[in-house]
């Protein structure tokens, strides 16, 4: 369950995270790769965290994980329902990342289980599928039959990202079926996705099309959603990995970190993706990570403790941070990440259950983290 009191600071860990947790539940885009290429330090760090590498990239031994010295298990968890786990694993392998098909968990798998377990959907039922190969394969694995027309008597409608070539007519068929009262599901509702050319519409945008087209109904329906940050995705991941003490690793506060919070598990935010210092300091309780680090090398080390109180200032490493009347104030020197951790404590304590509105640009500029 999510913690009852708001997190007011990041936590410390004397043990390396790959020793303290049995499984890393890793987001992909912005964490492992970006634009199709591996994020710097990702390959070596994951090899070491899983026990396959000799060193962690910082010159210290690694791989003494919780699984009999073999290192932590690596699981790759993605909201993208377009690609099959086999395709994702092949991509990771080409990048040099240790991955097998069974290590990949997608929102397509999570929504397929959600549909198959729905009491109103008979075994082997027809499902009107608006999505790519990954979603179709996941439905077939659950014994569900894919159809493409509202006139094929579907027992459910499901939407998943199908790539930029998705046909407009497929959304029309989904809207017709939902308008007839057919149960509606979605792999995820991310409005946008990153691409090599910039930000593109995601599955959430396609879901909005069907939602708009069914507004005429007296009680317009809402889809049952499986992907991060909602519980079905976390459940699917735990079932498939057998994780007992997992650590969610991500770059997004509103999916990765919120999903960890909803599942009641710890999280590591890495600053290789979309989240910047301003967003982290303004994070509401459900978006506050357990740990923060630059990149995946953070799996291979302990995490420094933040000490102090609001009145005396929060300290981490050589830095001290306080919440002033109008701005967050920072003093000291040392590792910029320690300064960011101290600032988080000052900001989150000042915000309580809300968001911190204090100016932070001067403090973040001093750390070289202003964006």
Catalytic residue, candidates 22, 27, 256, 295: 27
Kindly state the tokens that stand for 94: 């080409």
**Structural fold of domain 17-79+229-300:** Rossmann fold (3.40.50)
Percent pLDDT > 90 in the chain is 85
Label residue 68 by pLDDT band (50, 70, 90): very low
Mean pLDDT (whole number) for 226-245: 95
Residue-averaged pLDDT of the chain = 92
Please tell us whether the domain made up of 108-225 is placed in CATH 3.40.50.1000: yes
Domains in the chain: boundaries: 17-79+229-300, 108-225, 307-367
198 class by beta-carbon count within 10 Å (0-12 exposed, 13-18 middle, 19+ buried): exposed
The CB-side HSE value for 288 (13 A sphere, CA atoms) comes to 28
| pLDDT of residue 60 exceeding 60 | no
β-bridge mates for residue 248, sequence order? 25, 267
pLDDT of 71 reads 82
Label residue 36 by pLDDT band (50, 70, 90): confident
pLDDT digits (tens, 9 = 90+) for 116-172: 999 999 999 999 999 999 999 999 999 999 999 999 999 999 999 988 888 899 999
Return d(Cα 328, Cα 305) in angstroms, integer: 20
Q: Which residues of 231-261 are buried (b: 16+ CB within 10 A; e: fewer)?
A: ebbbebbbebbebeebbbbbbbbbbbbbbbb
| pLDDT of residue 1 exceeding 70 | no
Neighbouring residues of 343: CB distance < 8 A, sequence distance ≥ 6: 277, 281, 314, 321, 328, 330, 360, 363, 364, 367
pLDDT of 371 reads 65
User: Is position 27 annotated as part of the catalytic site?
Assistant: yes
Catalytic residue, candidates 22, 29, 190, 295: 29
Percent pLDDT > 70 in the chain is 94
**Fold match flag (17-79+229-300 vs 108-225):** yes
Whole-number Cα distances in Å, 336 to 297, 321, 343: 15, 12, 11
pLDDT digits (tens, 9 = 90+) for 295-335: 999 999 999 999 999 999 999 999 999 999 999 999 999 99
Q: Which residues of 139-154 are buried (b: 16+ CB within 10 A; e: fewer)?
A: beebebebbeebeeeb
pLDDT of 286 reads 97
Return d(Cα 25, Cα 268) in angstroms, integer: 10
What count of other Cβ atoms lies within 10 Å of the Cβ of residue 230? Answer: 21
Label residue 55 by pLDDT band (50, 70, 90): very low
pLDDT of 62 reads 34
| pLDDT of residue 53 exceeding 70 | no
User: Is position 29 annotated as part of the catalytic site?
Assistant: yes
């Amino acid at each position: 369950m999510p913690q009852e009191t708001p997190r007011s600071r990041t936590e410390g860990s004397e043990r390396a995270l790959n020793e303290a947790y049995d499984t890393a539940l890793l987001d992909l885009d912005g964490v492992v790769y970006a634009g199709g290429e591996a994020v710097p330090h990702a390959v070596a760090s994951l090899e070491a965290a899983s026990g396959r590498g000799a060193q962690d990239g910082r010159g210290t031994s690694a791989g003494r994980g919780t699984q009999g010295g073999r290192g932590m298990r690596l699981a790759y968890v993605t909201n993208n329902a377009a690609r099959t786990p086999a395709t994702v694993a092949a991509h990771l392998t080409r990048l040099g990342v240790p991955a097998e098909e069974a290590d990949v968990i997608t929102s397509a798998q999570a929504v397929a289980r959600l549909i198959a377990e729905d009491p109103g959907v008979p075994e082997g039922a027809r499902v009107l599928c608006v999505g790519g190969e990954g979603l179709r394969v996941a439905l077939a694995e659950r014994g569900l039959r894919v159809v493409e027309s509202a006139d094929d008597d579907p027992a459910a409608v499901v939407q998943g990202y199908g790539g930029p070539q998705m046909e407009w007519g497929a959304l029309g068929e989904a809207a017709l079926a939902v308008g007839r009262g057919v149960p509606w599901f979605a792999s995820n509702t991310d409005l946008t996705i990153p691409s090599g050319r910039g930000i593109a519409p995601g599955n959430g945008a396609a879901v909005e099309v069907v939602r708009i087209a069914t507004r005429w109904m007296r009680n317009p329906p809402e889809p049952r959603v499986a992907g991060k940050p909602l519980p079905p995705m976390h459940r699917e991941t735990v079932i498939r990995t057998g994780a007992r003490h997992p650590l969610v690793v991500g770059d997004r506060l509103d999916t990765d970190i919120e999903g960890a919070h909803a599942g009641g598990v710890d999280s590591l935010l890495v600053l290789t993706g979309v989240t910047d210092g301003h967003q982290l300091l303004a994070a509401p309780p459900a978006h506050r990570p357990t740990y923060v680090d630059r990149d995946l090398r953070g799996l291979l080390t302990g995490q420094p403790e933040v000490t102090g109180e609001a009145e005396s200032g929060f300290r981490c490493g050589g830095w001290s941070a306080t919440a002033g009347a109008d701005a967050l104030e920072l003093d000291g020197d040392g590792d910029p990440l320690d300064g960011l951790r101290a600032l988080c404590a000052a900001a989150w304590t000042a915000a309580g259950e809300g968001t911190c509105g204090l100016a932070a640009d001067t403090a973040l500029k001093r750390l070289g983290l202003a964006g």
